[in-house]
Amino acid sequence: MNSNPFYRSRPFRQSRLSGVLVLALGALAGCEKSSPPPAAAAPEQPAAPAKPAVPSEVTLLVTGGTFGQLLPVEGKGGAAELLGQWVNTEKHCPGPVKDGQATCADSGTLALATGDHGNGPALSSFFLGAPTAEAMGRMGYAASAMGNHELAFGKEAFLSNRTTGGFPYLAANLRVKDPAVAGDLSLPAFQVFERRGLKIGVVGLAAEKTVRTAMAGRADGLEVTGYEEALSSAIPEARKAGADAVVVVADTCVTELQPVVAKHPEWKLSLVAGGRCPQQVYANENGVIFASLDRGFSKYLRAHLTFDTSKPAGEKVTGVEGKFVDVVGATPDAETAQLVAKWKAQLDEALGQQIGFTKSGIPQSSPLMAKWVAGAVRASLNTDAAILNRGGIRGDLPAGAVTRGSIYSVMPFENSLLVVKLKGEDLAKQLSNPNALIAGFTAAGKGKFKDAKGKALDPAKEYSVATVEYLYFGGDGFEFEKLAPEPTETGMAWQTPVVDWTKQLESTEKKLLEKQLK
């Protein structure tokens, strides 16, 4: 037995304290009313399915100069057809781009163009390019290079069309030299667009001849710098603005830019797209796509860019793939089709207006046709001569009322007028071409000509000559481009002077057109 006197007192005390504790708890329990049992835990809801990850890729949809070709040509293209194909095949978001952003969530496409849009068919040029601007806005273009034909209808028309289209014109190499003269023609060098959290820097280039070849007064106050100088400045600035990829759209043939880009691998470009090449160009050089686009909406470039967002800025592009896509058999976008139909109805109404009268009509191959058509061009542009092509005249002017529509029937092809300077000896060779439709000079023996005043052509003198693009670039064996590499581009459709001059003559049944021409 333990001799410690406290050996039995511990269990006794513990038992006593336990009893007191039980009584105290009982008293507390008696003071409370019966409490409801605790609520059962709510069953766990199944987790919402994770939102699919947005792919780290962007598709660039690039067209060349649209040149007002809003309707299909020989079953290809058309503004409504192209947009229908973009929406259905490329998952493109239609509608005007606002502040650089598409109207659709998670849009993964960026529509771009290389410049030269409003002039061309009467459907566009008759309304100074407004129909094309409106259509391109609906098609969701984000930006375009500044084409040298953009000023074809004057500064005010360009600024109005730019507002209607809702997208910027970019030109890193076009600078305002005299703000007092150039006015609102200051253009951004680049713009950065965000798609799916990725930033695409788009740099624009104007053709180096933009200022030299524009009609007098339309490019005053502007100057053009070299391509390399402009890109060396604009590309780093686009990178500083956060661009993950940089592409170039240019109103020039990409073959002019390939050697420049090859000298600067540090630019890390993904795409260089342009127009104005004599034939289609596509090349992938060291991960950079070079592509030349045709006119109109019959074909586009699909350039697919993939990214690794974990990489540092300037290193995120992991792949660039491109191909040309034809627009054939596409279901037209209904809204664009309605827009084009609206302008077509207005054109048909305008072309139906009577502007003159002829009792006998004007036969297709007659000297009177040359006096009327080529004479109108020469008079309107105030040149020494006008040389058009006989093949461009596709029918007689019928007897009776002369309308705008009848003029377009006689001259159905789309041609812009240019003015060149030629020495007399070179002019004589062009006048001797059997395809020439001439005003201002008449034959005076083999290889010899006299001017409208009866004075012999001077081989050493310089003469101003109006002609059309088709002949300038070598059509029907003419040599204008070789003889005058820097023409003045009027941006004027060749039908326009004929319409205007015919109206000025104010011919009627008592004051016949044919008599005034004779």
- The C-alpha angle with vertex 485 and arms to 220 and 500, in degrees rounded to 5, equals 60
**What CA–CA distances, in Å, run from 254 to 20, 62, 213, 280, 359?**
100, 14, 20, 10, 53
Query: Is residue 129 over pLDDT 60?
Result: yes
Give the CA distances from residue 257 to residues 231, 247, 252, 289, 292, in Å, rounded to whole numbers and listed in that order.
10, 13, 8, 12, 11
pLDDT at 425 over 80: yes
pLDDT (tens digit, 9 = 90+) per residue, 303-320?
A: 999 999 999 888 999 999
Strands 141-145 and 109-113, bridge-based pairing: parallel
Residues 393, 370: Cα–Cα separation, whole Å: 10
What pLDDT score was predicted for residue 248? 98
In angstroms, rounded to a whole number, what is the distance separating the alpha carbons of residues 268 and 315? 9
- Distance, CA of 232 to CA of 514 (rounded, Å): 60
User: Whole-angstrom Cα distance, residue 438 to residue 385?
Assistant: 7
3-state secondary structure of 470: helix
> 467 has which bridge partners?
418
Q: How many other β-carbons are positioned within 10 Å of the β-carbon of residue 51?
A: 6
- Which three-class secondary structure string do you get for 400-419? EEEEHHHHHHHCCCCCEEEE
Give the model confidence (pLDDT) of 373-398 as tens digits: 999 999 999 999 999 999 899 889 99
Span of 25-29, 233-237, 314-318, 333-337 with lowest mean pLDDT: 25-29
By DSSP bridging, strand 198-205 and strand 190-195 are: antiparallel
The token duo for 368 is 């009177």
Q: Which of 155, 148, 87 is nearest to 275 (CA)?
A: 148
Query: Taking residues 447-470, what's their average pLDDT?
Result: 95
Query: 436-439 and 385-389 as β-strands: parallel, antiparallel, unpaired?
Result: antiparallel
- Per the CB < 8 A criterion, the answer to whether 410 and 393 are in contact is yes
C-alpha distances (whole Å) from 373 to each of 49, 72, 398 are 71, 28, 15
Q: Per-residue confidence at 499, pLDDT binned at 50, 70, 90?
A: very high
427, pLDDT greater than 50: yes
CB 326, CB 76: distance < 8 Å? yes
Q: Whole-angstrom Cα distance, residue 261 to residue 231?
A: 9
> What's residue 185's pLDDT?
87
Please report, rounded to a whole number, the percentage of residues in the chain having pLDDT higher than 70. 89
- Predicted TM-score (pTM) above 0.85: no
pLDDT at 324 over 90: yes
Query: If we measure between CA atoms, which residue out of 230, 274, 227 comes closest to residue 255?
Result: 274
Distance from the first to the final alpha carbon of the chain: 155
Give the C-alpha separation, 64 to 62, whole Å: 7
Q: Indicate the Cα dihedral angle 417, 422, 424, 428, nearest 10°.
A: -50
Q: Residue 281: which region, alpha, beta or left (left: phi > 0; alpha: psi -120 to 50)? A: beta
Instruction: Please provide residue 266's backbone torsions phi and psi, each rounded to the nearest 5 degrees.
Output: -70, -15
More confident of the two residues 50 and 5 = 50
- Evaluate if residue 418 carries a pLDDT over 90: yes
Mean pLDDT of 480-494: 91
Please check the confidence at residue 507 and state whether its pLDDT lies above 80: yes
Distances (CA, A) of 214 to 144, 145, 154, 194, 491: 19, 16, 10, 34, 8
Residue carrying the six token digits 């459709």? 493
pLDDT of residue 374: 97
Model pLDDT, residue 212 = 73
If you average pLDDT over residues 318-342, what whole number do you get? 97
Distances (CA, A) of 59 to 79, 111, 196, 213, 332: 19, 9, 11, 35, 21
**What pLDDT, on the 0 to 100 scale, is given for residue 383?**
97
What are the C-alpha distances in Å from 161 to residues 40, 127, 135, 168, 472?
68, 11, 11, 11, 28
- Quote the pLDDT of residue 106: 83
pLDDT band at 48 (very low <50, low <70, confident <90, very high): low
Contacts of 510 (CB under 8 A, 6+ apart): none
Helix (H) or strand (E) holding 443: strand 441-443
User: How confident is the model at residue 53, as a pLDDT?
Assistant: 56
What percent of the chain is predicted at pLDDT more than 90? 70
Question: Radius of gyration over alpha carbons of the chain, in Å?
Answer: 36
